[in-house]
Structure 1
Amino acid sequence: MVNAARPAVMLISYHLSDIRAQSELWWEESLSDQEIFELCKKSPELRILGSSQPRLQPPPIFIISPRVIVKTGWYKLGEFESRAMEIARAQTSIPVPKPLRIFKRGDTFFLAMEYIKGRSLDWCWEDLSLWRKFVIAWTLRGYIRQLRRVRTEQIERQIPGPLTDDLSKPLKCFGPAMGAEYHCGPFSSAAALFEWLNGRLRVSQYIRERSLDTPPFVQREPLVLVHGDLTPRNVVLGDDGKLWLIDWGSSGVYPPWFEAGGMLFTDPQPSWWKWVRRLVAGWYARDMYSYVAALYGMTTGFFVPDPLVHRY
């Protein structure tokens, strides 16, 4: 049971300048995993106003204090998300919520993190001036370039997938850019990832009779750190005036054009978001042409074997 002498509402009494330090100390050093778990059962859920369609609502996110929320999830949430947030905070100036703790109860992960108050872009985008939209897009462009300069051992060794602390055991890949609601891989090298992508392209060409002239995937740049789900609902105009990137659950080490691939799945598409995508993540005309052609093999045809390996 949660100690009644430490209710979440007591945080309100602290001076604003001390809230961050006090809340971090409180959660990291005072509360056990069980106490956080019990608080989740009693706390209100955070409703994502920018999620205009019910299916875009994430798994439950609980507001357990004025400064802390707990994100829950199953196979889409893991330690890799908090790891990516910590690395982005350490090596870039991108405003990223501070992860406080992650633990597991049964099949469910619980990630406690800083609560960012504000409006997501899919809630306020159409109300913004043309100039404000451009400033936001240009800021996001800078964020992505910072991410591409991040360095970890996994990036140096060019091992694809979510960030892991055990490079001998790469993690399976997941996210909008992978196309399907399935885990792919794991891949031990960039070459293995590109071979899988070309296999999905061959499935699309075989089943959907896509043009055989579609260029295959070729690695022309090193793998980099990618957010992986850079959609308006994951960009928050904070009440503090900062532009925050949230939801790092699809992040990992991938080709740079994966950022643009993930942005294709923005639904619904705000006005001129296509141009924002190209400005922020890059044009990548050849890669995106092959990517769109391969999407059938990455989604509906995900379980169809590569025709180069399996003769029909």
Structure 2
Amino acid sequence: MITTRHRVIPPGRSPTEHYAPSDVEQLTDQQILQLEKTAPRLSEESRELIGAEQIRHITPGTVTKSAEDEDTDTRIPSEALTLELVYRCTTIPVPRLRRVIRDHDTNVIVMDYIPGRQLSHVWREMSTWRKLRVVFTLRSYVLQLRAIQHPGSAIPGPIVPPGHPPRQCTSPLFNWKYEWRGPFASYDKLAAFFNDRYKVALVQHRRVPTTKAESRVRADPFDNSGPLVLTHQDINMRNIIVGDDGRLWLIDWAWAGFYPGWFEFVATRIQSENEETVVHRSEPLWDLLVPFICGLYDHQEKWWRRMAVGMEYK
């Protein structure tokens, strides 16, 4: 990875060829931090924007957000590493990473502002044909993520710099009472953790097997038959921007990491349910098409829902 004073450049790309000039190019870190103190939040600029309370619009072309890593001593947040990796290895439109600034115990991610509207606000305005184009595009994004080869992909969890230990994990699948779990040194450790939570859940349900079918349910293990792949884990209509440039942008990579492929499906299903709470409406067609976007993992989702109560305990 090549690091310039002002930005991070993916390997094999020249700073001038692939990064258009940014309007924070000539600003120092301290000047950016000063702008952040007074800059409006995106949610303040537009009532349409949902879930943008932590994003500061510091210049016309640039926003900042605080990294969400639980490991506060890290100097390179996992979301910044993910943005860089996805930009380098796929054609998925993502905000370009411009800088990471250390501010006391927080890492501030500086990235491009994406003009456009959240899919949650334009979905109902779209024709059926346009909706299907969105869904096919998102499916291609998921497939591209799963095809990424990375030296750290054998270790579950957020992306880490080479030689660094694994980081704690979070996503909708880990529940919210004890949001951060791990770190997990191997795929087997991740599977063992979920299998332990599954046993706890069965005890809490007082599920004593009385038939062969119930015995099979009780013995049903965490599915680690597929490889770990890069997953976004927060694909929902608020994190998809229909850009003014006509492209479909995928934002908010804070929960991304290497997990079983079925995590993307289950996380998207969970976030679709949460979306109904946030925007106070359901989108049946979106729900129907999630299996096409992420692949259908019905058995794994049922397993997770049986296990979920186990996440209420340490």
**TM-score between the two structures when normalised by the length of structure 1:** 0.82
Mapped partners of 1:51, 1:59: distance in 2: 9
CA shift for structure 1 position 165: 0.8
Mapped partners of 1:245, 1:50: distance in 2: 17
Mapped partners of 1:22, 1:93: distance in 2: 20
Mapped partners of 1:64, 1:221: distance in 2: 42
Query: Which secondary structure state, in structure 1, belongs to the residue aligned with residue 80 of structure 2?
Result: helix
Structure 2 unaligned runs (5+)?
1-18, 208-213, 277-281
Structure 1 runs of 4+ with >6 Å offset: none
Map of 2:225 onto structure 1? 220
Pick the aligned partner of 1:177 from 148, 161, 173.
Answer: 173
Map of 1:253 onto structure 2? 258
Whether the 8 Å CA contact 1:204–1:294 is kept in 2: the answer is yes
Please say if 1:302 is aligned against 2:297: no
Please say if 1:272 is aligned against 2:271: no
Map of 2:37 onto structure 1? 41
Whether the 8 Å CA contact 1:50–1:122 is kept in 2: the answer is no
Please say if 1:194 is aligned against 2:227: no
CA shift for structure 1 position 99: 0.8
- For 1:12-67, what per-residue CA distance to the aligned partner results, in whole angstroms no more than 9, with x for missing partners? xxxxxxxx7331xx535x22221111011122211175555xxxx34521111111
Q: Give the alignment's Cα RMSD to 1 decimal.
A: 2.0
**TM-score between the two structures when normalised by the length of structure 2:** 0.81
Map of 1:234 onto structure 2? 239
List aligned pairs for 1:53-92, cutoff 5 A.
Answer: 57-75=51-69, 79-92=77-90
CA shift for structure 1 position 194: 0.8
Please say if 1:293 is aligned against 2:302: no
Query: Which secondary structure state, in structure 2, belongs to the residue aligned with residue 154 of structure 1?
Result: coil
Closer, same or farther in 2 for the Cα pair 1:90/1:116, shift >3 Å? same
CA shift for structure 1 position 75: 4.3
Mapped partners of 2:52, 2:116: distance in 1: 17
CA shift for structure 1 position 261: 1.5
Structure 1 unaligned runs (5+)?
1-19, 304-312
Query: Which secondary structure state, in structure 1, belongs to the residue aligned with residue 20 of structure 2?
Result: helix
Identical aligned pairs, as a percentage? 33
Query: Which secondary structure state, in structure 2, belongs to the residue aligned with residue 184 of structure 1?
Result: coil
Map of 2:20 onto structure 1? 21
AA matched with 2:306 = A
CA shift for structure 1 position 265: 2.3
Closer, same or farther in 2 for the Cα pair 1:228/1:284, shift >3 Å? same
Map of 2:148 onto structure 1? 150
Count of residue correspondences:
273
Mapped partners of 2:48, 2:139: distance in 1: 22
Map of 2:108 onto structure 1? 110
Mapped partners of 1:167, 1:224: distance in 2: 19
Map of 1:308 onto structure 2? none
Please say if 1:244 is aligned against 2:240: no
Mapped partners of 1:255, 1:286: distance in 2: 14
CA shift for structure 1 position 130: 1.6
Map of 1:128 onto structure 2? 126
Pick the aligned partner of 2:157 from 137, 158, 161.
Answer: 161
